[in-house]
Structures are given as structure tokens and as C-alpha cells.
Structure 1
Amino acid sequence: MTPLRTGGFGQSISLHFTGEDGRRYTVRSLDKDPTKRIWDELKDTIVDDVLQDLISALLPTGALVADPLMEATGILHSKHTLVVIPDDPRLGEYREEFAGLIGTLQEHPSEGPDDTPGFAGSRRISGTERLWEHLEESPCNRVDARAYLKAKLMDLFIGDKDRHYGQWRWAQFPDGDCYTWLTIPEDRDQAFIGFKGFAMAMARKRLPRQITFGDKYPSLVGLSTTGWEMDREFLSELNKTAWDSVVTAFRRDLPDSVIEDAVRRLPPPYYKMIGETLTQALKSRRDALPDFASRYYELITRQVEIQATDKDEYAQCEHLPNGDLAVRIGLIEDPGGKRKAPYFQRTFHPQETREVRIYLRGGDDHAEISGTKGQIVVRIDGGGGDDTLTNASQSGTSKTRFYDYRGKNQFAKGRGAKIDERPYKRPPARLLRARYALDWGGQAATAPIIRVNPDMDVFVGATYHRQHFGYRKDPFSSQHFFKIGLAKDSDLKGIKPFASYTGNFREFMRDFDARIYLKYSGFQTIRFNGFGNKTEIPRPSSFYKVEQRHFVFAPALEFRAGDHKGDMPHVGMGSLRSKLTIDFGPIIKYSNTPLSSNREKYIGSLDQPLYGTDSFGQVGALGEVAYDTRNSLGYPTQGVRVRVAGAIYPGVWDVESTFGSIDGVASTYLTAPIPTNPTLALRAGGKKVWGTFPFHESAFLGGSGFVGSGISSGNLRGFRKNRFAGETALYGNSELRLVLTKIKLLVSGELGVFGTADAGRVIYDKDPDNADKWHTSIGGGFWLSFLKRQQTFSAAIVKGDDLTGVYLRAGFMF
């Protein structure tokens, strides 16, 4: 063989050869270097070491075991042979790097020269991206769904979770006047992977893809996620009967003798260590495969995707009396509208399928929905061309959706099909196809909480976050945050419960999102030191605490514009962030501040009870406008952020007369291109309350700050929470942030320092003339940032008239 070129852009390195037989071959290294694909900031750090250590979880010779299993089940593949590249002068320029390298040798699937048959007698070999182009051109190019399912079953069987679109090649074979494409699975690096141990078990709760191979199947989502987009497209024509027949044949083709022989292909030292365990695990997984494969069928059949082509085509969807949906797609043969026999035909059942999505792509297409009132949602995307989309069924907008904004289209709504002609661009293929689906399914995560702060001894609880994805709802369809916990406060006696829920719903009303906020707190610990800008606090801090139970219900509609690029995460579950946000809605609040429980506190020592104590209910309306152009959340260096909120509560329930408030804050960031990259961060804000208001709706300074929509941030450091209360609060904050040096702790990052200066005052109409002082504080500290400043932590000591406080937080105060 003659060396041709090097390869390997991931964790492996490879050397390509040309054989005397004219075929191409590749040797891939057994050893891996995962650090080739991580950020420079993480190289030569503990993360680098951990990732390299995790390579030990791989089975380097797993491909040797997979080969005979694929041979037995009839899956097209390239066989592997364990080799050592000799130290031979014929290696030429590659000798220094590759001499002595241990790897696997395999034929590289390629086309034959001069239009002769290529790999396995195929006519053409393509990667997945080129395959998609062929499939889009004409229905004469079709993927063999049964063959692809066998390959997917093998992935599940051997625990190979890394099956994104780059891990496949495709062989084209003539099929009459058309062509069939058979899959060629590649890269078995992560087959039989073993992420074991306590740390990985904990990590799997948030990262289900970190699976481990064993005699029982792992998380279905974790094992299958990276292949979802391909699976939903290429397996959509298989009903349950066809699916089960493939599974049955696959299982039958793997008797004990085949499994035992496959495992014996391991090198003797490997077989001695894990041979018996691996053999037994494969036998157990084979026996359990029908149930696991059935669960996977149920998962990818809930929302089905059918891809048409760029030819002129028809799509017929008929709602049947029993709730089934019959779908037929075929070519329109000539301008007269003559239709050929369908190339796609399947009947969907509501017990299995909630939604069918048909992408007609280019061409002048005709889609028709007929029949009874359906149980399955039908979404038809016309794509390019001049399309005709007709609803002649008994179904209305809840089950019939047409999407088309390109071409001269005609719509027949019938009993009320929903028509959407807004331009839309799907998320980038690198996110959608290679890693995670963003328009179907969902994910969830839980996390414990333990907090300690000056207002409570300890809070112990947990959060649950669930995210659902939906059609054309980026980056999610709905988000649900639950938080529950218990707090212990020695000052307020006893254990107090807490529970909250926040729900976000994308495009609840076309151009408007919806949000629901619900909270109950049995320990709504606030502080009240009296009204005015010159109040004294001679007693201990605990004397000014207020025990209050608190309930809030606040639904809202939100309008968003100018989403940030970071709003479409393909990992994790971040909050949606837009440049402009407008929200409005009603609010219900109920608080109980019993004087009997506060008799030994300041609020209980007053001669006249404050308005708002004991049971107090209020109902009103909220509105907020936010504008955000910051270039980073963790460490902004440019941009602005402005928020203005208003609230009004009429004289109903326990409110004696109408009162309201307006609350605003604005910040900006100015960075100079000089050494230390100084960033001057400036913020100014305030709140005005009018009318007769309960004490807990005061304009507070020192602590909770921006409270118009239940949003909280500190506004005056060096002073206790809610230190001053009045009808108006004004404050300003400034920070000068400097970069000192790059550091390397667990990971690479930056170290810097910053100085702070705050000022603020409240205005209260009963204050004396000399109560116009601006309260100030000054301080400084240091900050650390990691991962390109996505994670920033700061620590500061700030001295004010009240106290010298230590402030530790993720990020900065603003």
C-alpha cells in the first residue's frame, strides 16, 4: 500500500493508503486525544487531564466486536483489522508521526474508477450532507428504511451513542429506474462505552448522554439523542408492523454462537479481562431489545416528519372515521396535473402519533387535507414554488396548519385551517441535525439547593426544570421551573415552607409569548426600619426583621424582538433573552404580616399598626419594557440595558384607595482599548410610589432594588436590606473593572480587580428638611472569569454608613 494523506480531525489520527487493488484503505489510531476539540482556555488544565482520563472509558477494539455482529445482521460495513504500522522508509514524510502506531485497518468506502462498481458493488458513495442533496432532488433517490433501522438497532444493541450525521456514509445501488441508498455505519469509538463511578452517575442526571454499557439498556434519550433528526426522517415510512418485523429478524440473526464468536475477536488480554462479562451483557441486551426498540418507536413516532422533494408533488392527507390519518405523497407527472402512484404511503394512528409534519420543499406542489374531524395535527410546509394548500376536512385550526411564504401560493382554509405566511429559518444544521432536536421532544433536570444568608439560617430545597420543544418555536415551546424548599430562621422561629413556579410559553398568541409566575413563601423575610431618609437603627439587626407569609400570582403576555444569538442553546436549558421585551398582565398578591408574631420586632412596637399588616390582599396590573444590547451576561464590556416597569392597584379587596408605582433602571458599559482593558460600568435607577400604599410596597433603598415585576437586585451596598423606605428611591452605581492577568487554576481564566462607588437616597414627604442626604459607599474587590468569560465570579468589600459588607456573587451586581 502507498501512503496517500493524513486524516482525523477529531480525537483520532489516521493515515490513508492506496492499495495495489486500486482501493483506498485507512488506519485509525486506537489512542485518542480529546483535547484537540476543546477550547484553548481548557488546554493544559485539569479539564484536559480529566478528558484524557475519560478515554479509558472507551473500548479501543470495540469495532472488532461490532464487525461480526453487523455481518450476521446484514448491515453493510467496512471490516476492521488490528495492525501496527511498521517503521518502514516507504512511509516517507509520514514515517516520523505514524511509525509504530497501533490502529485498525479498514477499507475506506469509495467509488470505483471510470464508473466501475465501487465499495460493495455500489454505484456511488456519499456522506450524509451530500445524501440529503440527492434526496431533495428527486424521489428516485430513497433511503432503504429497513436497512437503516437495522443499523440503528445495532447502535442501541452495542451502546454506541455517538451517531450524528458525520458518522455515516451511504452507498447507492440501482433500483429499476431509480436508486436506493444503503447506510454504512462508521466510527465505533464509543461502542461499549463505560462511564462508570459515582461522579458519572451524578452527572447523568443532567447529562443523560454520559451512558455506560451493561447488561441493561441505559436512558433511551441518552443513547439515541444524536441520531434523532436522521432517524425521524429516514424511518418515517415504517409502521409498527414493519418495525417489529425488522426487530424480530435482527434478534433472530444474533444467536449465542454469533455473540460469543464476536467477543472472541478481542485481543486475548482484552478477552481475559472483559470477555465473559461482555458476552453475557450482549446476550441480555439482545433478549431485551424488542421492548427497548418498541419504546424508541413510540418516541420518534409522536411527531413524525416526512420530507418530500423539489419536484412538483401532491400530498393527500385523509382523516379517517376511526381517528387514523392516511398520508400519500407522489409526483405530479405533467402540467395537466396527472398524478403518479405515491412513493410514500402510510397510515398513522392517534394512539401513536400526535402530529405529522410534511415538508414539500421546492416545486409547484398541491396538498389536500380531507375526511372527518381529525385527531392528529397536520402541518404542511409548502417550501419553495407556487403551491396550492387545501383543507377540505372537518378539522379546523387546532388540527390543520399551513406554512408557506415563498412563491405565489393559494390557500383554501375550509373549516378554518391556520395559515402562517411569516418568513422562517430553521436553526443551523450543526445544531439541529448534528446534536439536538429543537422542535420536538423535551428535556428535564433537577438540582438541590442549600443557601445561607443573613435573613435565614439555612434554606434547603430543590429545583425541577422541564423544557419542551415545538414546531417553529425556538429555542423552546415551553419552559417550566419549579422550586420547593424549607427554611430555618432562629429569629422567626420554626421551619417555613417555600414553593414557586415559573412557566414560559412561546408564541402563546401568534406574536406574543406567555408567562405564569406563582409563588408561596412562608418566610418572606423583609426588613423595615421605618419611613424616611434619616431613620436610625440603634437596636440589633434582628429587631427590624418582619415575619410575613406571601403569595403572588402573575400571568403575563410578552412581546419579544431581536433575539440574541445566544438564545438558541443546543446544550442545557438557558433562559430566553431578547433585545426588546414588553410584557403586561394582571397580578394578585396576598400577604399576612401578623402583629402577634412580630410583637418583639420594630414593626410590632409602633403605636399605630402600619397599613398593610395582618392579612392584606391586592389585585392589579403590571407592565414592563426592557431593552438589552449587552454583549455578555457574565462580563459585559459594551451595550446598554434599560428596564422600566409600572404597577397599579385599584381600591379593591384590602386596598383602601388606588395606588401605583413606576420603577426603572438603566446601565451602560464603556471599555477602553488600552492595557488592562478597563471597563467603566454605570447604572442609575429609581422607584416612585403614589397614593396610599402598604408598607411592603414602599420605594426601598438598600437591598431589593428593582421590584416592579418581582425582579430583585441590590442597589446600595454597604447598607442593610431595605435600609430606607419612602415614596421615592433614587440610586446610582459605578464600577471600574480591570484585567490583571491570565491565570490557570482548574481551568484557564482571567483575574482582575474592580472598584465600586454607590450613592442613593429616598424621598418621604414627612421627612424633616435636613433629611436630604445622599447615602454613599465605596469599596473594591477582585473577580475571576472562566470559559471565555461565560462564567464570572466576584468578591468585594464595601464600606457604607451602616456596615462594611462582604459581597460574593456569580457575575457582577449589574
Structure 2
Amino acid sequence: EHALKRRRDNLREAATEYYENLAKAVNIHASNKAELVRIERESDDHVVVPLNALDGGAGNNGAIFKRRFDADDTREIRLYLYDGADSVHISGDVASSIVVRVVGGDGSDVVIDKSTVSGYALAFLPIPDAETTTFVYDDGKKTRLELGASASYDDDPMRAPIDEAQRYEPLVEDFGHNWRVGPWLGFTSDMGLFVGGGPILYEYGFQADPYVYRMALLAGYATNAKSFKVQYTGDFRSLIDGARVGVLARASGIEVHNFYGLGNESQRIEEADKANHYNVVQQQLTFRPELGIPVFDGAEVIVGADVTHTKSAEPNEIRFVNTIRPYGLEPMTIANGSVGIRIDTRDVELNASKGVLFDVRGEYYPTLLDNAAAFTKIKGEARTYFTADWPLETTLALRAAAEHNIGDSIPFYKAAVLGGTGSLRGYPIDRFIGNTSLAANAELRVGLFNFNVLFPGVFGITAAVESGRVFTDDDVSKRWHAAVGGGLYLTFIERSLTLSASGMQSPEALRIYVAGGFAF
């Protein structure tokens, strides 16, 4: 009874909050018949929208809808016309106003905007410049337009809803923003425990699928390196029409490399490895912009650049890398330009059950900044997934990867390497270094049972086998390195929330990996 009274007492507050959420971006759906809409920008703070039926074209108006919108509550008004010979007239002379979007239908529509919304250049310079607050979308050939300085027109085909439910209650968010907290957790035998996280911001907008932009600022600490990593990523979908802009900026003191020497059969002394004799921890500053140009659904051409400054920590320590002092050990800044193609049809990135990933990229490092000699890196990988639902949900994940360098003077940390989560588990990071690397991975994932304790989820087991090798110019080795292992995983609520733990045994050691999602 007490709970019911509390809910009753809070009903007005809840209703007000619900109204405020609905009022931010209002969708007005007309019918498939002819309608007349006379939108008036009444003042800086108010817009009036009356929707009237045209009775058989005789001009007798019948009121269907009328609402006076307040700028304190509403930022966008979206009018969907559908079929019929619709007419929209927009008037008013104001300094600022609510955004109005008019989406035409298949009929012979007329859209006339005589309103003026005065503004300033770049929204803040004291230079008068009409502000665009009317947006018209119509790819029909029969539409007649008369648009003023405050209006814009887009004749690209609109993304059509797949059914009526999607038309009136779309699953894709199209207004406002959403803050989330992203965990950044993991454990490997090389890095130790890594703990961190940070805020993630999603901004949504009209016809922006899946969002206008996504930005994340994450920070974490690694126990083995005893240092931090801070990373900003931005994924912008509306800066350039029809393209994606990506930005990465990272400052890291935990970039772990190992240097055992060149070749497919470089020697490793176990006692020296345990004493971190082969270990190289780098401090890195990286800035990486890229432009993704869609080719077809799930595929894009990616053009990018990268500027990275590196400094190897404790260069005077007596370690194996200091006895050879390969190129790249001293502090240096290098840059590259890259181009590639990426095809990604996976259903869930971190726990895929179907689809493929095909990613091939070429990077060119010119003699720029501290780079002594130009070189080229070509790398690629392919992944695919097969799932059967009976008797238990079982997914077979397959991955193949290759990398090849062209050049005579390449920083050791840019060599083609094998070892670690990204190539061959069961071996230390960068265990084998060469000019070319090949790797193949297979993992079987079996969901044993569902559970519902605090939240629903799936408990499963994995079994994996992996193999690979590197090549150098004078390497005659025919050996392929292999590792086998298995592990456990938990999926929480949905497949994208997966925690996996695995152990991979190679002839050299058993190595442990814990991460959000799977390695591939």
C-alpha cells in the first residue's frame, strides 16, 4: 500500500518527465489523402502547426490537428506527408525558431517557405546571416518548391521503414543523446591486469543511422607496466555526407613489446623471460584520423593517416634488446598514410554468431619526421562464423591473418610479428619477428546452459587451436608454431556483453587471457 501511494504521489512528476521526453522531437504523421498545413513561426519561442484535410480538392478545410509548440520544450518538429497532393506553407519573420523538417510523400506536393529566421554567421559572429531552420526532404519528381533563405532541400531517397511498427515507433533512436559508462578491462600474461573505463557519448539525429556521432574517453592502468593508458575515439557519421570520419588519440605507457631477435626460430631462455629480459615497454603518443567511404552495405573503403611518437622505457637497462639495439629503440616520431577496404557483416562485433569480416589495408611510411627510410606495410585478416542451435548453441569461429613489410629499414615495433592475442595466443607478444607473418585460428564456442540470477545470461565453454609462423629474407625454417587450449565465457543479458577467460598452451608456456568479448 505504501508503495502504491508513493507511486500515486509521483505520478504528476513522472507524467511531466514523460511529456518533456516526447516533446523534444515531435513526429506529426499526415495521411495518404490531400492535406493543407500552414505552419506559422509565431515568435522566437513559438511555432503553430495546423493540419487540415482538403475535402475532395474543393478547398473546404477540415481541422485534423493543431498544436502550438514552445521552444523551451521542443527542438524539432517533423512532418510526414505520405501520399496525396499535400500543401505546406511556412510563414513568419523571427530571430530564432524551432527546426521544422518536412518529409514529402509520393503525391504532387507543394512546399512554400516564406519564413525568415535571422541569425549570425557561424552562429556567433556579429554578421547577419539567415539561419537554416526548415529542412525539406522529397525525392519525388512532382513536388513544387518555393524555398527562402532559411530553408534547405534534400532530394536523396529517404530510408524507408520496414513495416508500420518501424514507421511510428522506430527502434533506432533519432533524437537526443545518451551517456554510458564503458568498462575497459582485461588480463594477459604479458600485460597483467588492466583495469579502467570511462564515459561514452552517443548523439542521435534525424535519419542518422546508427547515430550522429559516438565519442569515448577511456583510461586504464596495467599492473605489469605500472603505468596508464588514456584513449579518445570519435566516430562521426554526419560531418561529411555519405561518409564516416573516425578519430583516435592515445597516450599510453603500457604498450608492451618483446624482442627475442629476428627469425621464425629465435631462441628463448625461460629464466631470462621470467626476469623480463626480452621485455620492451613503450610510451606512445598517437593521433589517427580516417575517412570511411561506403561501397555497399557492410563495406567501406578507408583512407587514413597516423602520426605516432614512441619512447622505449628504461633504455639503459641490461635487456636483450639493448645488446642488439634494433632500429626504432631510440625515441622517434613516424607517420603513415593508408588505404584499405573493410567488409563487416557480423551480427555482434565482440561475440559474433554469423557473418564475415574481411579487412585489408596498405600503409606507406615516408621519410618524414624521424623515419630514416621509407617502407610499406600490407596487412589483412578474414574471419567467419558458423552456428548450429542443436543440441546446444555452438559457434565455430575461424580467422586467418597475414602481414608483409617492404623496405630495408623498419622500426622493430613495426615488423611483422607473431604472438599474443592479436595473432597467436599461447606465446608472448611479438614472440617471433620477421618480414612476413601468417596466422590461422579456430575456436569452438558452446553455450552449455542459460541462467537467470540477478540478470539473464548464458554460460559456455570454448576450445581453440591456433598456428602461425614468420618469414625473413634468410630464414630457411619450415616450422609452424602451434597452441591449443580452452576456456569459459559468460554472456550477460545480450551477446554484446560477454566476458571470456581462456588458457592457451604452447610448447613454451601456458598463458592466460581474460577480456570482454572474444579474441576474434
TM-score by length of structure 1 reads 0.54
Q: Indicate the residue corresponding to 1:588 in structure 2.
A: 307
Q: Which residue of 1 aligns with 2:126?
A: none
Change (3 A) 1:613 1:338: farther
Aligned to 2:24: 302
1:367 partner amino acid: V
Cα 1:353–1:681 change in 2 (3 A) is closer
Distance in 2 separating the partners of 1:451 and 1:638: 25
2:252 aligned partner: 521
Change (3 A) 1:602 1:319: farther
| Shift, 1:483, TM fit | 0.6
The correspondence for 1:605, drawn from 313, 316, 323, is 323
* AA partner of residue 175 (structure 2): W
SS at match of 1:696: helix
The question of whether the paired residues in 1 share the 8 Å contact of 2:186 and 2:513 is answered with: no
Q: CA deviation at 1:687?
A: 0.8
Give, as a single letter, the amino acid of the residue that structure 1 aligns with 2:399. R
What is the Cα deviation at residue 345 of structure 1? 4.7
Structure 2 SS opposite 1:651: coil
Which of the residues 357, 367, 375 maps onto 2:88? 367
1:92-103 aligned at under 5 Å gives the runs none
Give the C-alpha shift of residue 379 in structure 1: 0.7
| 1:386 maps to 2:91 | no
Alignment-derived partner of residue 470 in structure 1: 205
3-state SS, counterpart of residue 321 of structure 2: coil
Computing the radius of gyration from Cα coordinates, the structure with the larger value is 1
Structure 2: how far apart are the matches of 1:475 and 1:362? 27
Q: 1:33-432, aligned counterparts within 5 Å?
A: 62=4, 159=7, 282=9, 299-319=21-41, 322=44, 325-333=47-55, 335=57, 343-346=65-68, 348-349=70-71, 352-372=73-93, 374-394=96-116, 398-405=132-139, 408-415=142-149, 417-426=152-161
Asked if the contact 1:320/1:374 (under 8 Å) is kept, the reply is no
SS in 2 for 1:476: coil
Matches within 5 A, 1:550-569: 550-560=284-294
Give me the whole-angstrom Cα distance separating, in 2, the residues matched to 1:393 and 1:321.
11
| Contact preservation (8 Å) 2:186, 2:515 | no
* Cα pair distance change 1:668/1:453, threshold 3 Å: closer
Distance 1:445 1:687 in 2: 36
Match of 1:540 among 249, 273, 296: 273
Distance 2:68 2:353 in 1: 55
Letter matched to residue 142 of structure 2: K
Letter of the structure 2 residue corresponding to residue 601 of structure 1: R
Count of matched residue pairs: 499
Q: Residue 463 of structure 2: which of 754, 762, 766 is its match?
A: 754
Aligned with 1:724 (options 407, 418, 432) = 432
Distance 1:549 1:648 in 2: 23
Asked if 1:662 is matched to 2:378, the reply is yes
Instruction: Find the aligned partners of 1:601 and 1:687 in 2 and give their Cα distance.
Output: 27
How far 1:385 sits from its partner (Å)? 2.2
Shift of 1:473: 1.7
Letter in 2 for 1:780: G
In 2, are the aligned partners of 1:759 and 1:774 still within 8 Å (CA)?
no
Which residue of structure 2 lines up, in the alignment, with residue 175 of structure 1?
none
For 2:113 and 2:450, the matched residues in 1 are separated by: 63
Distance verdict in 2 for CA 1:537–1:413, change over 3 Å = farther
Structure 2 CA distance, aligned partners of 1:384 and 1:810? 47
Deviation at 1:677, TM superposition (A): 8.3
Secondary structure in 2 matching 1:584: strand
> Which residue of 2 is the match for residue 625 of structure 1?
341
| Closer, same or farther: CA 648–361 of 1 in aligned 2, 3 Å | same
Residue 462 of structure 1 aligns with an amino acid whose one-letter code is: G
1:697 aligned partner? 414
How far apart are 1:809 and its partner, in Å? 4.9
Q: CA RMSD in A?
A: 3.9
Cα distance in structure 2, aligned partners of 1:748 and 1:800 = 32
Greater strand content = 2
Q: Shift in Å at residue 686 of structure 1?
A: 0.6
The alpha-carbon distance between structure 1 residues 549 and 440, as it changes in their structure 2 partners (threshold 3 A), is: same
Distance 1:368 1:649 in 2: 57
Q: Deviation per CA, 1:461-512: give whole Å up to 9, x if none.
A: 33212222211123333222221233444xx5xx533211222223432322
2:125 — aligned with what? Answer: none
Q: Which moved more, 1:585-594 or 1:443-452?
A: 443-452
Counterpart check, 1:775 vs 2:480: yes
How many Å separate the matches in 2 of 1:652 and 1:673? Answer: 54
Q: Which amino acid aligns with 1:465?
A: I
Give the aligned residue type for 2:243.
F
Q: 1:792 to 1:496 in 2, by over 3 A?
A: closer
Amino acid at match of 1:365: D
Q: Within 2, Cα distance between the matches of 1:603 and 1:376?
A: 63
Q: 1:393 to 1:585 in 2, by over 3 A?
A: farther
Q: Which amino acid aligns with 1:363?
A: G
Distance in 2 (CA, whole Å) between partners of 1:531 and 1:328 is 76
**Partner residue in 2 for 1:799:** 505
Task: Say which structure is richer in helix.
Answer: 1
Determine the C-alpha separation between the residues in 1 that align with 2:258 and 2:479.
Answer: 21
Counterpart AA for 2:77: V
8 A Cα contact 2:280 2:321, kept in partner: yes
3-state SS of the aligned residue for 1:525?
strand
Deviation, structure 1 residue 797: 4.2
Amino acid corresponding to residue 689 of structure 1 in structure 2 = N
CA distance in 1, matches of 2:190, 2:486: 24
One-letter amino acid matched to 1:361: Y
Gaps of 5+ in 2: 118-129
Cα deviation, residue 557, structure 1 = 2.5
- CA 1:299–1:679 in 2, change beyond 3 Å: closer, same or farther? closer
Structure 2 residue identity aligned to 1:383: G
Q: 1:371 to 1:738 in 2, by over 3 A?
A: closer
Query: Which runs of no fewer than 5 residues in structure 1 stay unpaired?
Result: 1-58, 66-157, 160-191, 193-281, 564-578, 704-712
Q: CA deviation at 1:337?
A: 5.3
Q: Higher RCO, 1 or 2 (CA under 8 Å, sep at least 6)?
A: 2
Tell me how far apart the structure 2 counterparts of residues 686 and 357 of structure 1 sit (CA, whole Å).
49
Cα 1:680–1:303 shift into 2, 3 Å: closer
What is the aligned counterpart of 1:483 among 218, 229, 233? 218
- What is the identity, as a one-letter code, of the residue corresponding to 2:509? L
Paired residues of 1:329 and 1:345 also in contact (CA < 8 A): no
Aligned to 1:446: 181
**Distance verdict in 2 for CA 1:529–1:468, change over 3 Å:** same
Tell me what 1:499 maps to: 230
After superposition, give the CA deviation of every residue in 1:646-683 in whole Å (9 maximum; x if it has no partner).
22232222223432211111133457899788765432
| Per-residue deviation, 1:437 | 7.0
Q: Structure 1's 367 and 621: CA in aligned 2 closer, same or farther, altered over 3 A? A: farther
Letter in 2 for 1:696: Y
Give the partner amino acid of 2:210: P
Give the residue type in structure 1 aligned to 2:291.
L
In 2, are the aligned partners of 1:634 and 1:789 still within 8 Å (CA)?
Answer: no
One-letter amino acid of the counterpart of residue 441, structure 1: G
